[in-house]
Amino acid sequence: MKKGIGYYQIGETVELALLIKQAKKGIASNGKPFLSLMMTDKTGDIEAKMWGVKPEDESVYRTGTVIYVQGDVQDYRGMRQLRLKSVRPAHDKRAEDYMQSAPMSVDAMLEKVNEYLFAMDNPKIQRLTRHLLKKHQEAFLTSPAAVKNHHEYSSGLIYHVVSMLELGRSFAELYPSLNKDLLYGGIILHDLAKVNELTGPLGTQYTLEGKLLGHISMMHVEIETAAAELQIEGEEILLLKHMILSHHGKGEWGSPKPPMTREAEMLHMIDNIDARMAMMDRALERTAPGEFSERIFAMEQRTFYNPNL
Amino acid sequence: MKKGIGYYQIGETVELALLIKQAKKGIASNGKPFLSLMMTDKTGDIEAKMWGVKPEDESVYRTGTVIYVQGDVQDYRGMRQLRLKSVRPAHDKRAEDYMQSAPMSVDAMLEKVNEYLFAMDNPKIQRLTRHLLKKHQEAFLTSPAAVKNHHEYSSGLIYHVVSMLELGRSFAELYPSLNKDLLYGGIILHDLAKVNELTGPLGTQYTLEGKLLGHISMMHVEIETAAAELQIEGEEILLLKHMILSHHGKGEWGSPKPPMTREAEMLHMIDNIDARMAMMDRALERTAPGEFSERIFAMEQRTFYNPNL
Amino acid sequence: MKKGIGYYQIGETVELALLIKQAKKGIASNGKPFLSLMMTDKTGDIEAKMWGVKPEDESVYRTGTVIYVQGDVQDYRGMRQLRLKSVRPAHDKRAEDYMQSAPMSVDAMLEKVNEYLFAMDNPKIQRLTRHLLKKHQEAFLTSPAAVKNHHEYSSGLIYHVVSMLELGRSFAELYPSLNKDLLYGGIILHDLAKVNELTGPLGTQYTLEGKLLGHISMMHVEIETAAAELQIEGEEILLLKHMILSHHGKGEWGSPKPPMTREAEMLHMIDNIDARMAMMDRALERTAPGEFSERIFAMEQRTFYNPNL
Amino acid sequence: MKKGIGYYQIGETVELALLIKQAKKGIASNGKPFLSLMMTDKTGDIEAKMWGVKPEDESVYRTGTVIYVQGDVQDYRGMRQLRLKSVRPAHDKRAEDYMQSAPMSVDAMLEKVNEYLFAMDNPKIQRLTRHLLKKHQEAFLTSPAAVKNHHEYSSGLIYHVVSMLELGRSFAELYPSLNKDLLYGGIILHDLAKVNELTGPLGTQYTLEGKLLGHISMMHVEIETAAAELQIEGEEILLLKHMILSHHGKGEWGSPKPPMTREAEMLHMIDNIDARMAMMDRALERTAPGEFSERIFAMEQRTFYNPNL
Amino acid sequence: MKKGIGYYQIGETVELALLIKQAKKGIASNGKPFLSLMMTDKTGDIEAKMWGVKPEDESVYRTGTVIYVQGDVQDYRGMRQLRLKSVRPAHDKRAEDYMQSAPMSVDAMLEKVNEYLFAMDNPKIQRLTRHLLKKHQEAFLTSPAAVKNHHEYSSGLIYHVVSMLELGRSFAELYPSLNKDLLYGGIILHDLAKVNELTGPLGTQYTLEGKLLGHISMMHVEIETAAAELQIEGEEILLLKHMILSHHGKGEWGSPKPPMTREAEMLHMIDNIDARMAMMDRALERTAPGEFSERIFAMEQRTFYNPNL
Amino acid sequence: MKKGIGYYQIGETVELALLIKQAKKGIASNGKPFLSLMMTDKTGDIEAKMWGVKPEDESVYRTGTVIYVQGDVQDYRGMRQLRLKSVRPAHDKRAEDYMQSAPMSVDAMLEKVNEYLFAMDNPKIQRLTRHLLKKHQEAFLTSPAAVKNHHEYSSGLIYHVVSMLELGRSFAELYPSLNKDLLYGGIILHDLAKVNELTGPLGTQYTLEGKLLGHISMMHVEIETAAAELQIEGEEILLLKHMILSHHGKGEWGSPKPPMTREAEMLHMIDNIDARMAMMDRALERTAPGEFSERIFAMEQRTFYNPNL
C-alpha cells in the first residue's frame, strides 16, 4: 500500500489519488488562466498549480473531486508544492475516504459526549443540552469547528468538544467552586450553532446567516427556543445563555458580553487552550526538530520552535 | 407659583417639594452615617448631603419619595449643591409630577412612531415591528433609554426613537439607495429590549438579564420569537436581526457583528448622532456663554464651548 | 451608440475609446517591462496590462491620454480585467469627455451652494465664506474630494459639499440648538483647501504642500488671511477656524484639536456619513443581490451585503 | 472559642485580637493625623480608622503588631469597616498565628512539589530544578506570590505552584505532544525569584532589585548561574530559560519574549487560569448568591455574578 | 536670612512670606467652605488648607497675592503640607520676588538665542525667525512653556528653547546631514505661539484661542503672515511650517502631520529629551537617595529611582 | 578605476565584481526555479534575479561568494534592479573587500571607545565595562548592530556605539544631573550581546539563543557573571543591569522593565536618535532633492522628503 501525501519529501515523485479540497482560478502574469489546487488525503495537504487550463477543466477539477495525479514534490518558499505532470479525474473514488478527520472515531466521540451528559446532576441543564444535541446531532457529528486555523476538518467540532470536556473535568476536580454541570453544558453547546454558521466539512464557507449573525447569537436564540419548547425555566437557562454569549472573552473577539461567572470565564479559557494546542501541534508536526515553524496567524503571528529533546 | 429647582442660583434660599431620584448611604470621615440625596423636579437636579441620619431616616428618605426641603444653594467643586436646613416627607405629592421626562407628550410621540410605521411599504417589516411595539408598548412609553449619559429620563427611549426616525427620513430622502422600511424598522426596534434591560424610569438600574445578556442579544431573541409566532419568513427578518446585532458599531462597543448593510451602518450613525446631540445639549444648557462645559465622559472626556454668538 | 465600459461582462469583447486615468510601469517576472493602465469612461473603470512595451510607448500611453482599445474582459482575482488585443492613441478625443464626474451638473451644484450661502443670517460668516469660495471657485468646481476612497472624481468636492449641506439643513431643523450659519459655513469651507492639496481631477496626486502641511492646516491659514483682508473680527472667525481644525474628529485622523463645539462635532459626523454612504454605494453598485461586496479599506476593511429585497 | 473576624456581620460588636497587616498614616480633613489599619486574622480582613493619634501611637500600632480591639462593624461604601472603641497592643500574641495562609499545610505542599520533581524523567531538568528549589527552599515555603490581586498571603507562592502542577499533569495527559518535564520544571521555577523580588509574607513590598529588574530577569540569571555551577549543558537549559522569560505572555505584560514553544505557551495559560480562579473565588466568597461581586481590577475591572444554583 | 520654603522638613515650624500661586475654593465634608492655597517662593512649593473662610477672605487670599504665614510642616499622603496657624496679606512684598523662574537670567538666555540666530547662514530663515522673535519678544522672555508638567514657571519657555538649541548644536555637529539653520529656526519658533496660548507666568491657564486652536496651528498662521509681510518665498518657509506642524510627533499628540524631514524628526526628539530631563530632574530633586520619586504623569506614570551613587 | 555599484543609474551597463550578500531560491510563476541575489560592494546594493538556474548553480552562487557580473540597471517598482547578462564566480576576490562597513576605521572606533572608558571616574563601572568589552572584543569589532533597518553592516555595532557615546557626552555636559559613567557604561554594553544574538556580518541571521532569549536578557546574564567573576558589588551593578533591561523603552518593544533612572531613560533616547538618523540618512541618500523617500518600516512607515535647499 502506498504511503499518504503527508509523508512525501521534496524531490520525491508522487503517483496517488487525492481529493481537491479547494480549487481556485487565477490569471498568470502572462495573461493565461491557471487553477490553484489544494489537494488532500488523510495524511496531509499539498498545493499544485495547473497551468494552461481550458474552460472545461474548471468544471472537472472542482472542490470535492478526487483525482489521480503524477508529479514531483518541490520546495516553494519553504512549503512543499507539487509540480504536476499528469492529472485525471478518479471517478471510482469517494471524497469521504480522502477527507481529513478527527483522530477518534465518531462513535467513540459521541459516546464520550454522552458520558459527560450522563454525569450531569442538574436535570434542567441536562434536558436542555440533550435536546439541542439531539436536534443537531447529525450535523454535529461531521461539522468542522472552523473554516481555517484549527479543527477545520471533518468532525473537528465534536473532537474539539470532547477535548474541552476532558479539560473541563480536570478543572472541575481541581477547583471545587466550579459548577460542573454548567461547565459541561456550556462546553457542549458553545459552538453548536456552527452547524448552521458553516456549510459543512468540504470546501467549508460561511453561510449568509453565519456572516450576518454569527454562531454566538444564533446559539443564543436556539437556547431560548429550546427552553420555551421544553418549558424549562430558572437561572440555569440565563447562565447558559450568558456562557454562550461571552465565550469569546471580549467584544473585540465577538462576544457581546464579557464572562461574568466563574463557569463563563473558564469556558473561554478552555476553548482557548484547546484551540492553541491544536494550532501549535499542526504547525510543529510539519517542522523538523531544531527548526522554527511557519508563523501562526491566529497566535499573534508567532513562530514556534521544535526542540531537539 | 414657585420656580423649579433648575432655576435657583448659588446663594438663593430654596423652599420646595422635590423627588428623591437616588438615595445613597455613606459614612463621613468622622465615622457618622449620612445620606447623599439626588433630588429632582421637572426643571433640574440638585444634590444634598443629609448629615447625622438615624437608622429610621434611611427608610423614610428613599429613592422615589417626594420631600419638602428648605436650604441654601451652594457651590461645591463647580456644581450647585443644596445645604439642607429642614426636610420632611411630602405625603400629599406624587412622584410622577416631579420626574423629568421627554420634551414632547407621550401621545404625540406615539403618534409620530405610528406615522412612520404606517409609511412602511414592506408588509413583513411592518407586521413584525407593529407586533413587537404592541407587545412592549406600555413600558416603551415610559422607559428611559439609559441609566446615565443621555435620554436617561422618563420616556427617554421613545423620545430618542422619534428623533432618530426624523433623521432617518432625511437620510432616506437624500440617499435613495437606502431601504426606508428597514431603516425605520431598525430604528423603532433597536433599543426596544431596554424595557427589560432596565428597571424603569425611577432609580433606574440594570436587571440581572440586562447585565448578563444585554439589550442587543435580548432583542435578537425577541425578533426570532415574534417572526416564528407571526410565521413571517424571508431575508427581511435576517436583515433586521443583523441591524439589531450591529447597531453599536463594533465589538468593543457591544455589537457581536459590525454593520454589513447600508441600513445597519446608517442605523449606527443615526443612533450616535442623536445621543451626541443630547449629551452636548445637556452639558451646554448648564454652561454660560463664553465658558466651557464640564467633561462629557461618553464623548472621550471632551469639554464643549458655549459660544457668545 | 456603444455602451460604456462599466456595462461589459466577463467574456465580452470590447472595442471602445477610453481615457488612461493612471499609467504605471512595471517589470514582469521574465524581466521585461510592461505598463499597467487604469482606463475609464463615464460609466466605470477597467485595468489592463500592456506587455512588451518599448521605451517610446511609455511617453505615448500616459495618464490623461485617450486611446482606442480592443480586447476581452476577463476575471482576475474576482475583478474584471481587460486583455488587450490592440491599442492606439485617439488624438481626436478629449479627456474631459471620458472622465467620471459628479451625478449633478456643475451649474446646479453651484446654485445649491449659493442658496445655502444666501440662507445665512450672520453677515461675518457669510462674507468670509463667499470671499473664500469666490477666490477658489474655478478649482472648486472641478476638484475631486480625494485621491481615492470616495468622491475621487471630477467635481467630487462640490458634490460632497452639496450632499453635506442637505444633511446639515435636516440636522439644523431637528436640533434647534445648532447654529445653522456656522454649520453651513463649516461645511462649505471644510475641504476647500483640497484644491491646493491635490493636483486636480486627472491622475490626482498630493502636492508637496499637501503632503507636508495638509488641507486642514492650509485652510486654517486661508481663513486667517481672508479675515485679515476683509477686516472681519469676532468669535465667528475663531469658531470657524476651530471647525476646520477639528473636522477629522481626532488626532489619529489628522485633526490637531478634537471638536469642542456642537457645530464642530456635527460637521465631523456629517462629513463621515456622506463619505460612508458614497463608499458603500460605490462598492454595492458592483455587487449582485445576494452577494457581499469587496472589502472597503477605509471602513475597517468591512465587506457589505447587497440584499435580495 | 470566639469566631474569627471574617464571620462578623454589619451591626455586630467585635472584641478580638487581630494582626495589623498594614498601617498607614493620613491627615483628616480637619487637619489632624489618623491611622488607617488593615487588620487580619486567619478568617479575613477588616479596615479601621484610628482618629486623633499621637506621635507615639505611630510606633506602637505598626505593621506586624497584634492588638486587642473593641468596636462595631459598620458599612462603608459597601465594604465592612470597624468603628474602634478601644485598642491596645497584645504583647502575648504572635503574628504568625494571625496571618492568612494557604489552605494546605506547608509540609503537604512541599511533598506535592517533590512528587512532581520525582516524576521527571530528564535528569538535567530534574537536577537543575531540585538545586534551585533547595537553594531557596526556606523562603519558598512562606513567600506570597504577589503584593496584591491573588495568592498574596503566607505560602501563597508554593500553593500557586502546587495548583499549577496539578493542572499541568492534566494538560500533559490530554496533550501527548507536551514535554511534561519541561512543563513541571517551568511551573516550579517560573515565579521562584519572587522570594527576592518581594520582602516576605507580612507588609509585602517590592525590593529595590525587584523593582528595577523583576522576578523574570532575576530568575533567568539564577538558571544560568545554577547550570554553570552544576555544569549542565544542553537545549534543556535554553528551553527552561525561554519558558521563564516568556511566561507573562507578551511584552506589555513584562515578558521580553513571547512564548515560542508548546510548553512555554502552556505555562503561560496555566499561570493565567490559576490566578483567575483565585481572584474569582476570592471576590465571590464575599458575594451573596444573586449578587454581583466588587470589580476585579486585574480581570479588566469586571464584576462577577454569584448564581442562585 | 531665612531659608526658603523648599528647605523646610516635616515637623519644622514656618514663619515666612509666600506667594499664592493658585487659590481654589472647596466645601469640606462638614459643609463649610475652605481655601486650598498653593504657595511658593523661589525655592519650592507647599500646599495648605485654610479652614472656615469667610466670604471676604476669598477676595483677599487670591492667586498672585503675597502673604505672611505661620504654621507647621506636616506629612499628607507622602507630600509636605503646611498646617496654618496664622496668615495675613503682605502688602509690602512684590509677587515677582517670589515667583519661581528659570535658572539663568533672562538677559543671558536672550543673548544665547541671539547667538544661534546669528549663526544661521540662510538669510530667509534668519530674517523670518528674527522677525517673529522680535514681534513676541516681550512675552517670550517671561512666558512659561506649559501649564504643568515641565518648564511651567516664569521664563520657562525661553529656558526650554535655550537648552534645546544647545542640544541642537551637538546633533548638527554629529550628524552633518542635518541643516542647522532649519533646526535652529524650528527650535526657536516651535512653541513661540505659547505666548498667546497661555495667559502668562502666574496662575497660568489656557486662553480661548489656545483651547480651540492650539499653539501648533496658531504658529503655523504666524509664519504664513510673517512670510507674506516680509515677502519671503521659497521652500524654507514650507519646511519651517512643516516642522511646526509636526513637532509633537504624531496625531495622538496633537500634530496634524508626522515629521517628514530629518530636521522635523530631530526637532521632535530634542523637544522630547529636554522635557523629559526637566520632569525627571524636578521629581528626583524631591526624592532622597535610595528612594523612588512620585509618579510622573506625562512619562507613562512611571516612578524614578534616585541612586545612592 | 571603476565606479562602485552604488553610483550606477537606470539605463547604464554594469561590468563589475560584486559580493552576494544574500542568496534566496524561488519558484517562478512558470514553475521554474530562480535565484534572487542581493549583491553589494562598498558603495551600495543591487538586486538581481537569476533565471533558469540548475541545481549546481545553487551551491555556486551562495551568500558570501564574490562574482563577476554583466548586465543593465533597470527600474523595478521604483527600485534599481540589475538585469543579468552574464555571471561567473570571482575566485580571485575576497568577500571582505566588498562588504559594506562603518564609515570609520575599526582602529579609530576602538580608540574612541577606549577614550570614553578612560574618562570614567567610577572604578567599578570602568572595570566591569572593560572586562566585558575585552571578552567580546573580537566579535564586537565586526558585528553588525542588526539584521535589517539600521547599522546592519560590518562593524555597524561599534559604529552605533561610538555615535551614541558622542551624543552621550553632549547630554552629560548639558544636564549635570546625569551620571556620565553610568551613561557611558550603559551605551558601551547595551547591545554587546548582539555578538551572540546574531550570526555575524555576512548573511546575518538570529541564533537560536538570540531568538529564544534576545540580546537584552543575554546581556543581563553577562553582567551578572562578570560581576561575580570580578567580585564587584554595589548599586552600580544593579543600575547597569536595569539600564540594559530597560533600554528598549517599554514592554511592547522588548524591555521587561521601563526605564526608571535618568540614565536609563537617556540611554533609550540616545539609542533611538542614532537609529533614526541612520535610517533617515540611508533612505534619503537614495532620494533625489525634491522627492520623497521610500517608506521606512521601522519609523511608522513614514516617507521622508529631501529638500531642495
Q: In Å, how far is E249's CA from the nearest CA of chain C?
A: 11
Q: In Å, how far is E145's CA from the nearest CA of chain F?
A: 19
Q: In Å, how far is F120's CA from the nearest CA of chain A?
A: 42
pLDDT at D68: 94
Cβ atoms of B48 and B81 within 8 Å: the answer is yes
Q: In Å, how far is C78's CA from the nearest CA of chain A?
A: 9
Question: Residue A31: which of C83, C290, C292 has the nearest Cβ?
Answer: C83
Q: Across the interface, do D208 and E305 touch by the CB < 8 Å criterion?
A: yes
Neighbours of A, requiring at least 3 CB pairs below 8 Å, are B, C, D, F
Q: Which of B24, B25, B29 to mutate to test the interface with D (most CBs of D within 10 A)?
A: B29
Instruction: Tell me the CB-side half-sphere exposure of residue B178, using CA atoms within 13 A.
Output: 27
Q: What is the pLDDT along chain C (309 residues), one digit of tens a residue?
A: 578 888 887 778 899 999 998 888 877 656 677 898 989 988 888 999 988 788 788 889 988 899 999 998 887 765 678 999 999 999 999 888 888 889 899 999 999 999 999 999 999 999 999 999 999 999 999 999 998 888 888 999 999 999 999 999 999 999 999 999 999 999 999 999 999 999 988 878 899 999 999 999 999 999 999 999 999 999 999 999 999 999 999 999 999 999 999 999 999 999 999 999 999 998 898 788 999 998 898 999 999 999 998
Using an 8 Å CB-CB cutoff, list chain E residues near C245. Answer: 212-214, 217, 256
Higher pLDDT, A203 or E155: E155
pLDDT at D9: 78
Q: Across the interface, do F75 and C212 touch by the CB < 8 Å criterion?
A: no
Cβ atoms of C33 and C56 within 8 Å: the answer is no
State chain A's mean pLDDT as an integer: 92
Q: Does F288 touch chain C (CB under 8 A)?
A: no
Using an 8 Å CB-CB cutoff, list chain E residues near D33. Answer: 74
Q: Does E32 touch chain D (CB under 8 A)?
A: no
The nearest alpha carbon in chain F to D216 belongs to: F256
Instruction: Give the Cα separation of E303 and E284 in Å (integer).
Output: 10
| Model confidence at F28: pLDDT above 70 | no
Using an 8 Å CB-CB cutoff, list chain E residues near D25. Answer: 75
Instruction: Give the Cα separation of A37 and A59 in Å (integer).
Output: 13
Pairing of strands C44-51, D33-41: unpaired
> What predicted TM-score, i.e. pTM, was given to this entire model?
0.91
Neighbours of B, requiring at least 3 CB pairs below 8 Å, are A, C, D, E
Instruction: Give the Cα separation of E307 and C224 in Å (integer).
Output: 52
Q: Which of F206, F207, F213 to mutate to test the interface with D (most CBs of D within 10 A)?
A: F213
Helix boundaries (H) for chain D: 55-60, 106-118, 123-135, 137-142, 156-174, 180-189, 194-197, 208-212, 214-230, 235-246, 262-285
Query: Residue D214 burial (CB < 10 Å; 0-12/13-18/19+)?
Result: buried
Q: Across the interface, do E308 and F235 touch by the CB < 8 Å criterion?
A: yes
Q: Across the interface, do E49 and D26 touch by the CB < 8 Å criterion?
A: no
Q: Across the interface, do B242 and A213 touch by the CB < 8 Å criterion?
A: yes
| Cell 451528559 belongs to residue | A117
Three-point CA angle D177, D179, D181, nearest 5°? 160
Task: Indicate left, alpha or beta for D200 from its phi (over 0: left) and psi (-120 to 50: alpha).
Answer: left
Instruction: Give the Cα separation of D10 and D79 in Å (integer).
Output: 9
Instruction: Tell me the CB-side half-sphere exposure of residue E124, using CA atoms within 13 A.
Output: 15
Please give the biggest Cα pair distance in chain B: 67
Q: In Å, how far is C26's CA from the nearest CA of chain F?
A: 6
Instruction: Give the Cα separation of A245 and C64 in Å (integer).
Output: 55
Q: Which of A36, A291, A292, A303 to mutate to test the interface with F (most CBs of F within 10 A)?
A: A292
Q: Does B308 touch chain E (CB under 8 A)?
A: no
Q: Does C287 touch chain B (CB under 8 A)?
A: no
Instruction: Give the Cα separation of C230 and C210 in Å (integer).
Output: 26
Q: Across the interface, do B224 and A221 touch by the CB < 8 Å criterion?
A: yes
Q: What is residue E268's DSSP assignment?
A: H
Cβ atoms of B245 and A242 within 8 Å: the answer is no
Using an 8 Å CB-CB cutoff, list chain D residues near F261. Answer: 212
Q: In Å, how far is B114's CA from the nearest CA of chain A?
A: 28
Using an 8 Å CB-CB cutoff, list chain C residues near B177. Answer: 277, 280-281, 284
pLDDT at F31: 63
Question: Residue A27: which of C74, C292, C305 has the nearest Cβ?
Answer: C74
Instruction: Give the Cα separation of B239 and B225 in Å (integer).
Output: 15
The residue length of chain E stands at: 309
Where is F272: in which H helix or E strand?
helix F262-285
Q: Does D309 touch chain E (CB under 8 A)?
A: no
D78 pLDDT tier (thresholds 50, 70, 90): low
Nearest to B241 by CA among A231, A226, C307: C307
Cβ atoms of E98 and E17 within 8 Å: the answer is yes
pLDDT single digits (tens) C41-91: 888 889 999 887 887 888 899 888 999 999 988 877 656 789 999 999 999
Q: What is residue A4's DSSP assignment?
A: P
Q: Across the interface, do A280 and D262 touch by the CB < 8 Å criterion?
A: yes
Cβ-Cβ contacts under 8 Å between A and F: the total is 23
Q: In Å, how far is C219's CA from the nearest CA of chain E?
A: 10
Q: What is residue E112's DSSP assignment?
A: H
CA Rg value for chain A: 22
> The dihedral of CA D225, D228, D232, D236: what is its sign?
positive
Instruction: Give the Cα separation of C120 and C113 in Å (integer).
Output: 11
Q: Does C76 touch chain A (CB under 8 A)?
A: yes
Please give the biggest Cα pair distance in chain E: 67
pLDDT single digits (tens) B25-83: 877 656 677 898 989 988 888 999 988 788 888 888 988 899 999 998 887 766 678 99
pLDDT single digits (tens) B100-124: 889 899 999 999 999 999 999 999 9
Nearest to C217 by CA among E240, A267, F116, B219: E240
The nearest alpha carbon in chain F to C35 belongs to: F77
Using an 8 Å CB-CB cutoff, list chain F residues near D221. Answer: 220-221, 224
E with F: touching (≥3 Cβ pairs within 8 Å) = yes
Q: In Å, how far is B216's CA from the nearest CA of chain D?
A: 19
Q: Across the interface, do D74 and B27 touch by the CB < 8 Å criterion?
A: yes
Instruction: Give the Cα separation of F290 and F304 in Å (integer).
Output: 10
Q: Across the interface, do C75 and A25 touch by the CB < 8 Å criterion?
A: yes
D269 pLDDT tier (thresholds 50, 70, 90): very high
Domains and CATH numbers, chain A: 5-98 (2.40.50.140), 106-281 (1.10.3210)
Rounded to a whole number of angstroms, the distance between the first and last alpha carbons of chain D is: 33
Instruction: Give the Cα separation of D82 and D75 in Å (integer).
Output: 9
Q: Across the interface, do B308 and C177 touch by the CB < 8 Å criterion?
A: no
Q: Does B121 touch chain A (CB under 8 A)?
A: no
Q: In Å, how far is F78's CA from the nearest CA of chain C?
A: 9
Instruction: Give the Cα separation of D156 and D147 in Å (integer).
Output: 10
Q: Does B83 touch chain E (CB under 8 A)?
A: yes
pLDDT single digits (tens) F106-141: 999 999 999 999 999 999 999 999 999 999 999 999
F147 pLDDT tier (thresholds 50, 70, 90): confident
Q: With a threshold of 0.85, tell me whether the complex ipTM lies above it.
A: yes
Using an 8 Å CB-CB cutoff, list chain E residues near C256. Answer: 214, 216-217, 245, 254-256
pLDDT single digits (tens) E209-256: 999 999 999 999 999 999 999 999 999 999 999 999 999 999 999 999
Q: Which of C182, C207, C215, C217 to mutate to test the interface with E (most CBs of E within 10 A)?
A: C217
A with E: touching (≥3 Cβ pairs within 8 Å) = no
Q: What is residue F6's DSSP assignment?
A: G
Question: Residue D309: which of A236, A276, A280 has the nearest Cβ?
Answer: A236
Q: Across the interface, do F262 and E177 touch by the CB < 8 Å criterion?
A: no
Neighbours of E, requiring at least 3 CB pairs below 8 Å, are B, C, D, F
What is the arithmetic mean of pLDDT over E99-108? 91
Q: Does E29 touch chain B (CB under 8 A)?
A: yes
Rounded to a whole number of angstroms, the distance between the first and last alpha carbons of chain B is: 33
Cβ-Cβ contacts under 8 Å between D and E: the total is 23
| Cell 468540504 belongs to residue | A202
Q: In Å, how far is A11's CA from the nearest CA of chain F?
A: 12
E109 pLDDT tier (thresholds 50, 70, 90): very high
